[in-house]
Structure 1
């Protein structure tokens, strides 16, 4: 239930611009007092972001200069104060933010929860009512499983944006409370496979058809256990909701777990198994020779990244037991090992053209053998480590999440500074 003291906020997202725009028009037309906000990033390379604000028949279109060339900083400094100002206008009953095609809703929601305006987060004034993602059935599956860069398609959010189309397509779908299916798949097989992927990628989300998606149905379909804009915790459960576990149309869901470290060189060689025929990988890992580093692994289509997400609780450099969430303490206690503490290999892999048995076998082959375990930590520090390039030794144990990485030239460990 929405807090009556806060203004409901709806985020609309999706790679297909026409259905997202149509949903925005419906939401604003159906309910008087609904304000629409849209930042268009298509001119970011020219140093400006176009901004539209509409309330009833009044519409304002302007340009916002990029803050030192950074789209994220500009949106933070423009969108957040704007939301607060709109929420405090008595005639505004709801705010709809139509996100640019290149934006990932979870990252926007993280700013809503963490960035401060006048020393308070925007969530003191607005409450995310729903994240709604439009899915073009003709093209979404191809986008979510490919390796094209946003820049190749002129969809990038600024000159330094090296993300892939798959990264954005997957991120927009998996964080949705409601998925709205638009258009027609080219054939029944593609339609079935797209549905099978979405059911496993976003098991909490309701699925609606665009034709009948008016405001009442859109907002009424939001499940009680939906994300509703709450960012996910990399130390929390990898799988939310209840995705189907049986294969469907070649789409499979695998959870890989182990409690011994990866050999850095063998893991580096094994990572291709997470890129060929895999839609999404999310999870945590640790490397022999780096007992403190809690690593976050994330892939989408043909791109994969590994980032630091703080330290394990068992690490001397880790956060105190009382300094983390009750949920993290519970998970750590359930899997606590007398030798490894809360360290664990845990990856959730959604595949559409890959054999889950081959994925499991390849990843297990990258773990330390019994003989290597017997050598002990002193020997592990001398193992070759291809991930060392770009490794930032700093860490932030208060890190709330890990941002997906683009395709790049190969995985290195990067520090997540958020």
Structure 2
């Protein structure tokens, strides 16, 4: 029997997973506690029955692969999983690709009184005592923003209505229905999820960045910067310009290319004071055989193809809470190569901090 899963995520204290479980007769409730993972201990409850596990390797991926995935396959039917606060649902859904499990919905619980401060802060999970394993350097912002962004539905707890928070969520995840915990109707919330919601799916980084057609007009100090340019960034100037993305910014995500790596599409993603840079793979302009490339990506590349740049381009979406749109745009535009640098790009030897950064990421 295929397993149908509802994942409930969030840093806030809540009993929403139990509410979802009660609203699903015959379902099983699974909870994980990873607070002692670094000491080699994982606590897991299945319908209230506690099991203490001692994984051979104290890491999140091993816990998912060796415990949660086989457990879900074994249970079958409908399962409600309350994720440990430090877990991001996108990482869990990525792992679930390996098993016969279907994600019916991802529900994220947000504390309306603290979420915005968390989402724009620099505090790490370790500062809060929430780091899931030794060497976990993620920030609280990266976790709470990722949890909200990947949600199919959102439940708000804590303080009452906050127009600034609403404006941020309208731009971060515009299609996810939101309900106040005090008026939570689980059946209505799940029914309000759009038919084409993500439900655990993720793209390869080359898809549309403005998911769900978010509002682009500023509201309550919240704004969206959609930065699109063809020419490459100068790697050192881009590195210096990134400072504008850390103060008063909730989320930055998108594709960039730097003059020192003309064939590589880089993925840049930030939340609050946390930043990740990774390699998405080659631009199609550097690929001879497109047969293995998804049809949608081929179509977009062909429609926007430039005789000089091919499909290479910069595209970043920045959601601000208080930062200046003009300052962000000017800093990014100032990091682009000049005409002279572009003409000499093949001859210049650029210092590239992003190449070193990517190597470090691969070692973790």
TM-score, scaled relative to structure 2: 0.96
Partners of 1:416 and 1:161 in 2: CA distance: 13
Partner of 2:293: 324
Q: Is the 8 A contact 2:59 2:132 kept in 1?
A: no
Alignment equivalent of 2:120, drawn from 136, 145, 149: 145
Alignment of 1:386 with 2:353, yes or no, is yes
Q: Is structure 2 residue 164 aligned with structure 1 residue 193?
A: yes
1:329-348 to structure 2, matched below 5 A, reads 329-348=298-317
Residue 390 of structure 1 and its aligned partner are, at CA, apart by 4.2
For residue 245 of structure 1, give the secondary structure of its aligned residue in structure 2.
coil
CA spacing shift, 1:49–1:328, aligned 2, 3 Å: same
Q: Which residue of structure 2 aligns with residue 32 of structure 1?
A: 25
Please tell me whether the aligned partners of residues 308 and 415 of structure 1 are also in contact (alpha carbons under 8 angstroms). no
Please list every run of at least 4 consecutive aligned residues from structure 1 whose deviation after the TM superposition is greater than 6 angstroms: none
Alignment match, 2:11:
15
Give me the CA root mean square deviation. Answer: 1.7
Match among 64, 67, 71 for residue 75 of structure 1: 64
Describe the shift of the 1:234–1:416 C-alpha distance in structure 2 as closer, same or farther (beyond 3 A): farther
Pairing partner for 1:95 from 73, 79, 82:
79
Q: Equivalents in 1 of 2:68, 2:345: separation in Å?
A: 52
Give yes or no for contact 2:106–2:151 (8 Å, CA) kept in 1.
yes
3-state secondary structure, aligned to 2:241: helix
Q: Which runs of 5+ in 1 are unaligned?
A: 116-121, 393-411
Q: Residues 104-151 of structure 1, C-alpha deviation per residue, up to 9 Å, x if partnerless?
A: 0011101111x3xxxxxx2x3x32111101111110111111010000
Q: Distance in 1 between matches of 2:203 and 2:129?
A: 29
SS in 2 for 1:184: coil
Cα distance, 1:416 vs structure 2? 9.6
Q: Give 1:107's aligned residue.
A: 91
Question: Which of the residues 164, 168, 173 maps onto 2:148?
Answer: 173
**Superposed displacement of residue 311, structure 1:** 1.1
Q: Could you tell me how far 1:249 is from its partner in structure 2?
A: 0.6
SS at match of 2:189: helix
Query: What count of residue pairs does the alignment treat as equivalent?
Result: 364
Q: Which residue of 2 aligns with 1:247?
A: 218
Equivalent of 1:135, from 95, 98, 110? Answer: 110
Q: How far, CA to CA, are the matches of 1:349 and 1:61 in structure 2? A: 43
Match of 2:187 in 1: 216
Q: Distance in 1 between the 2:117 and 2:174 partners?
A: 20
Show the counterpart of 2:138. Answer: 163
**Structure 1 residue 386, shift from structure 2 partner:** 2.9
Distance 2:211 2:301 in 1: 18
Change (3 A) 1:250 1:390: closer
Query: Measured at CA, do residues 319 and 254 of structure 1 come closer, stay the same or move farther in structure 2, by a change above 3 Å?
Result: farther
Segments of 5+ residues of structure 2 without an aligned counterpart are none
CA deviation profile, 1:11-60 (whole Å, cap 9, x unmatched): 0011102x2xx212112223321101111011112211101111xxxx42
Deviation (angstroms), 1:343: 0.9
Query: TM-score normalized by structure 1?
Result: 0.84
What displacement does 1:232 show? Answer: 2.7
